[in-house]
Amino acid sequence: MNNIELKDKQYLWHPFTQMKDWTENKQVIIAAANGTKLIDTEGNEYYDGVSSLWVNIHGHRKAELNQAIIDQLDKIAHSTMLGLINIPATELAEQLVKITPPGLEKVFYSDDGSTAVEVALKMAFQYWQFKGQPNKQKFIALNQAYHGDTVGTVSVGGIDLFHRVFKPLLFAPIHIPSPSCYHCQLADNNETCGMTCLEPLEQVLTTHHTEIAGLIIEPLVQAAAGMLMSPPGYLKKVRLLTEKYNVLLIADEVATGFGRTGKMFACEHEAVSPDLMALSKGITGGYLPLAATLTTNEIYNTFLGEYTDKRTFYHGHSYTGNQLACAVALANLKVFRDEKVIEGLASKIETINTKLEKIKTLNYVGNVRHRGMIVGIELMKDKQTKKPFPWSDATGAKVCLHARKYGLMIRPVGDVVIFMPPLSSTTGELTEMLEILYKSIQEVTETPACCSGLAAISAISV
């Protein structure tokens, strides 16, 4: 075994990973990358089909992003934002306010998606304390939601497998149905139901709005749930209901932000301005950890007062507003402008669409969900009756491991195969990636013997 692999197995504990399987099987060591491809220590190349877990935007080793970090290093890597201004954090805040939906005027930095959401929850909670409505303490969250792994964000999560064990530690939100039509158990006909899934929300708001601080939602796409997508108009209706009942709307755009859905932010598709918005993942183009929580002047102003009033937002992190991370985030946004990245997505999305039409016809593909540059392909043992494969088969994980043999690196969520390539992928690269995906799904589901040698299955399945 390679020396690095030995040390990894001796010293490291990987995220969302069964380490028993991990240590017993051969693993891939990434040594370098180039554009859309990752390169391992044996020289094998793989398409980065999930953008290094949904973060990479313009490909790896993007010259402008590399240069931004080098230039910033010549000035300063980090100084604290407690009591001091820094230049890249300030300039980035101005730009974030300009590109996010109207009404979001202030930026609070942290380090990752979980902390960005945690900050939003705390701001929403404290806002009502200051507004003289201290009973507004509860949050509404969607079933199947994923907002991060800290105790606060797990509290508003709804993925049983990840969250159940921590229940005694958590505060309890009010859960409403996930708006995913494919899995809907509320209505017989999604075309004509008029979004039955909104009725429980309106009921909760009618009876409990005086106790509810906010509603948190992943707009359009519940990503970690397996790319569950809401029907058109759902988000807009949720916004109208929260306004009607005086409940804050928190949009968690950690996964959907920065072009993934085909527009800069998912909220734009339905002209929604939330009261708070959490951003991370793509914010630095996939280079460095950084997150931002944006909010309105209404919320910000409520925290203003004399020092002795103790209305301060008592929250912060050691690396808040880190200059290196903000510098590369600024370069990321500049590439979006200079290369007209959003405008260039239409033809790529069309290519994905065409290739997915073929994938849909596969015998064990139950549902294909697609929004912009986000795809979830749900495998089913029986397409007609929507009978899943046994969980213990880890079919989704097998497909992903098999795809590596053809040079595509992807990761499943259960039996949903996720495809979320860098926005910079060319139509030619997208075509090749989706052809590998087709072949991998077909071979694993139709001729299981082909992949009997696959190792470490449970190490990559959740």
Residue 254 touches ligand PLP, criterion: CB under 6 A: yes
Instruction: Select from 68, 107, 117, 267 the one that contacts ligand PLP (CB under 6 A).
Output: 117
Neighbouring C-beta atoms of residue 296, cutoff 10 Å:
20
Residue 443 touches ligand PLP, criterion: CB under 6 A: no
Residue 148 touches ligand PLP, criterion: CB under 6 A: yes
Phi, psi of 429 (to 5 degrees): -65, -40
Q: According to CB under 6 A, which residues from 95 to 114 bind ligand PLP?
A: 112-114
From residue 257, how far is each of 156, 348, 427, 434 by CA, in Å? 20, 18, 21, 23
Q: How far apart are CA 109 and CA 202, in angstroms?
A: 33
Q: Measured from the CB of residue 147, what is the shortest distance to ligand PLP in angstroms?
A: 5
Residue 144 touches ligand PLP, criterion: CB under 6 A: no
Q: Measured from the CB of residue 188, what is the shortest distance to ligand PLP in angstroms?
A: 30
Strand-pair partners of 138? 212
Q: Measured from the CB of residue 255, what is the shortest distance to ligand PLP in angstroms?
A: 3
Query: CB under 8 Å, gap of 24 or more: what pairs does 426-433 form?
Result: 426/36, 426/348, 427/347, 427/348, 427/351, 429/36, 429/47, 430/348, 430/351, 430/352, 430/355, 431/351, 431/355, 432/47, 433/47, 433/49, 433/408
* Residue type (1 letter), 395: T
- Asked if 313 and 288 touch (Cβ cutoff 8 Å), the reply is no
Smaller CB separation from ligand PLP, 144 or 296? 144
- Determine the interface stretch with ligand PLP among 141-149, 343-351, 417-425, 435-443 (rule: CB under 6 A): 141-149
Residue 415 touches ligand PLP, criterion: CB under 6 A: no
Neighbouring C-beta atoms of residue 314, cutoff 10 Å:
8
Residue 147 touches ligand PLP, criterion: CB under 6 A: yes
Q: How far apart are CA 120 and CA 146, in angstroms?
A: 15
Smaller CB separation from ligand PLP, 316 or 407? 316
Q: Measured from the CB of residue 6, what is the shortest distance to ligand PLP in angstroms?
A: 28
Write each residue from 279 to 318 as x if it is in contact with ligand PLP (CB under 6 A), else as -, in one continuous string: -xx-------------------------------------
Smaller CB separation from ligand PLP, 322 or 351? 322
Q: Measured from the CB of residue 52, what is the shortest distance to ligand PLP in angstroms?
A: 12
Q: Give buried/exposed letters for 167-196 (b at 16+ CB in 10 A, else e).
A: eeeeeebbbbbbbbbebbeeeeebeebebb
Instruction: Select from 27, 86, 142, 252 the one that contacts ligand PLP (CB under 6 A).
Output: 252
From residue 374, how far is each of 201, 235, 335 by CA, in Å? 27, 18, 20
- Determine the interface stretch with ligand PLP among 218-226, 292-300, 350-358, 437-445 (rule: CB under 6 A): 218-226
Q: Measured from the CB of residue 310, what is the shortest distance to ligand PLP in angstroms?
A: 29
Q: Which residues bind ligand PLP (CB under 6 A)?
A: 112-114, 117, 146-148, 218, 223-224, 252, 254-255, 280-281
